[in-house]
C-alpha cells in the first residue's frame, strides 16, 4: 500500500474510515516508519486538543426551567387575549360591518321584542287609582265639598248634590 | 454530549407527548448543560449562551409535537441550537470572541506565538478555534468535542459527508499550524 495521506490519517485517527481501508492502513503502519511517526504525532495532537466544558449547576438549571415555564405561561395568556381580541374584532369587522343591513334589521327586531316589556312596567294599575280615591275620601269626611270618590261611586246621589 | 443521550432524550419526549407535562422538565435537566456548551462555542460567553438555551428550550416545547419520531432527536436539537445561536449573533451584530472571557485586562496581540509563553494551552486552543473559518470550527467542535459521527454532522450542518471530511481535515491542519507554529512537532 502507498503511504497514508494526511487526510486519511485524520479520518483514521477519528475512526471514520471504512473497515477494509482501516485494515490496509493498520498493516501499512506496521511496515512504514514515516507513516507510523505521523500517526503518533496525530494521536498526540488530538489528545492535547481539549477545552474545558462549562459546568451548569443544578440551581442554574432549575432557574432555566422556571424562566422557560414563565415565558410559556405568558405566551399562553397573550395568545388567549389575542384570540379574544381577534374574536371581537372579527365580530365587528367581519359580521356587523360587512353585513350592515342585516345588522340594522336584527337590531330593530331585538328592540321591538324588548319594547313591550318596557311599556307594561311604566303603566299605572287601576288598583292604585282606587287607593288614591279612598284616601281622599277619608280625608274629606268632614268636608262638605264633594270628593271625586263621592262623584265616582255615588253617582245615584248626584241629584242631591246638583243643587 | 447530546448524541450519547439519545435513548434517554427519546424516553422523556415520548412521556411528554403522552401527556406528562413534567417530563419536559426532566428533558431540560438532561440536555441543558449540553445546549449551553454548544451555544457557548458560538457566542463565547456563558451568559449569552444561557439566553440562547432559554430560546432553544422554548422552541423545543413548541415544536416537539410536530417532531417526526423516526428522526434522530439529538441531531434535531443540535440544529435548533445552531440556528438559534446564529440568529442571536446576527441580532447582536457583533463578533463575540472567546477572548472576552479570557483577556479582560490584557492587550490583544496579533502574533499568537508571542503569547505562547504567557498563556496556557487551554486558552491557546480556544483562541485557535476562534480563528478557524466558521464551517471548520463547527465540524471540529461537533466531531472532536461533541463526539458526533461524520454522517450525523452532515445532517446537523446540512452538507454532504465528503464536505464534512474535507472541513475536518482542513480544521485539523489549520489548528496544527496555529497552535504549533512553524516548529511544531505535529506539522
Please spell the DSSP secondary structure of B71-109, one letter per residue. S-HHHHHHHHHHHHHHHHHHHHTSPPPGGGGT-SSS---
Which tens digit of pLDDT belongs to each residue from B171-182?
999 998 888 754
If contacts are CB pairs under 8 Å, which of residues 23-82 in chain A contact chain B? 41-42, 44-46, 48-56, 58, 60-61, 64-65, 67-68, 71-72
Cell triple for B56: 432553544
Q: Please classify residue B129 by burial: count the beta carbons closer than 10 Å to its beta carbon, then call 0-12 exposed, 13-18 middle and 19+ buried.
A: buried
Residue of A nearest to B161 (CA): A16
Which tens digit of pLDDT belongs to each residue from B69-93?
667 888 889 999 999 998 898 887 6
Q: What pLDDT is recorded for position A79?
A: 61
Looking at per-residue pLDDT, the higher value among B81 and A88 belongs to B81
Which tens digit of pLDDT belongs to each residue from A104-130?
888 888 988 888 776 555 555 556 667
b (16+ CB within 10 A) / e for A109-139? eeeeeeeeeeeeeeeeeeeeeeeebeeebee
Please report the ipTM that was assigned to this predicted complex: 0.72
Which tens digit of pLDDT belongs to each residue from A2-42?
889 999 999 999 999 999 999 999 999 999 999 999 999 99
Q: Is B86 on the interface with A (CB under 8 A)?
A: no
Contact B57 A56 (CB under 8 A): no
The dihedral region occupied by B126, where left means phi > 0, alpha psi between -120 and 50, and beta the remainder, is alpha
Q: Looking at the partner chain, which of A14, A53, A64 has a beta carbon nearest the beta carbon of B53?
A: A64
Q: Is B169 on the interface with A (CB under 8 A)?
A: yes
Residue of B nearest to A40 (CA): B186
Most confident of A58-72, A93-107, B62-76: A58-72
CA-to-CA dists, residue B120 to A4, A62, A79, A103, B114, angstroms: 32, 33, 51, 79, 12
Contact B33 A56 (CB under 8 A): yes
Alpha helices in chain A (DSSP H): 6-13, 19-31, 33-48, 58-89, 100-122, 126-139, 148-153, 158-162
Q: What pLDDT is recorded for position A92?
A: 66
Q: pTM here?
A: 0.63
Amino acid at each position: 500500500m502507498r503511504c497514508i495521506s494526511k487526510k486519511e490519517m485524520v479520518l483514521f485517527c477519528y475512526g471514520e474510515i471504512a473497515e477494509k481501508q482501516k485494515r490496509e492502513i493498520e498493516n501499512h503502519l506496521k511496515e512504514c516508519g514515516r507513516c507510523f511517526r505521523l500517526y503518533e504525532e496525530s494521536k498526540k495532537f488530538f489528545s492535547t486538543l481539549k477545552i474545558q466544558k462549562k459546568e451548569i449547576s443544578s440551581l442554574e438549571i432549575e432557574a432555566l426551567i422556571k424562566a422557560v415555564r414563565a415565558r410559556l405561561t405568558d405566551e399562553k395568556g397573550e395568545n388567549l387575549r389575542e384570540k379574544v381580541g381577534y374574536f371581537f374584532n372579527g365580530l365587528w369587522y367581519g359580521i356587523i360591518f360587512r353585513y350592515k343591513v342585516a345588522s340594522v334589521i336584527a337590531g330593530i327586531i331585538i328592540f321591538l321584542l324588548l319594547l313591550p316589556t318596557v311599556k307594561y312596567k311604566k303603566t299605572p294599575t287601576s288598583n292604585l287609582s282606587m287607593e288614591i280615591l279612598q284616601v281622599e275620601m277619608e280625608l274629606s269626611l268632614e268636608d262638605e265639598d264633594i270628593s271625586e270618590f263621592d262623584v265616582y261611586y255615588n253617582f245615584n246621589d248626584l241629584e242631591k248634590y246638583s243643587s | 454530549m447530546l448524541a450519547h443521550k439519545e435513548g434517554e432524550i427519546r424516553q422523556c419526549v415520548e412521556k411528554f407527548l403522552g401527556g406528562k407535562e413534567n417530563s419536559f422538565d426532566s428533558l431540560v435537566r438532561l440536555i441543558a448543560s449540553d445546549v449551553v456548551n454548544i451555544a457557548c462555542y458560538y457566542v463565547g460567553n456563558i451568559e449569552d449562551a444561557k439566553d440562547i438555551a432559554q430560546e432553544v428550550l422554548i422552541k423545543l416545547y413548541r415544536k416537539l409535537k410536530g417532531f417526526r419520531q423516526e428522526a434522530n432527536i439529538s441531531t434535531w436539537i443540535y440544529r435548533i441550537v445552531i440556528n438559534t445561536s446564529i440568529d442571536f449573533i446576527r441580532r447582536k451584530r457583533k463578533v463575540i470572541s472567546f477572548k472576552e472571557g479570557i483577556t479582560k485586562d490584557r492587550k490583544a496581540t496579533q502574533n499568537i506565538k508571542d503569547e505562547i509563553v504567557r498563556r496556557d494551552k487551554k486558552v491557546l486552543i480556544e483562541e485557535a478555534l476562534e480563528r478557524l473559518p466558521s464551517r471548520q470550527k463547527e465540524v471540529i467542535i461537533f466531531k472532536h468535542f461533541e463526539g458526533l459521527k461524520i454522517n450525523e454532522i452532515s445532517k446537523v450542518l446540512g452538507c454532504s459527508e465528503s464536505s464534512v471530511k474535507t472541513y475536518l481535515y482542513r480544521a485539523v491542519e489549520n489548528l496544527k499550524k496555529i497552535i504549533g507554529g512553524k516548529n511544531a512537532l505535529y506539522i
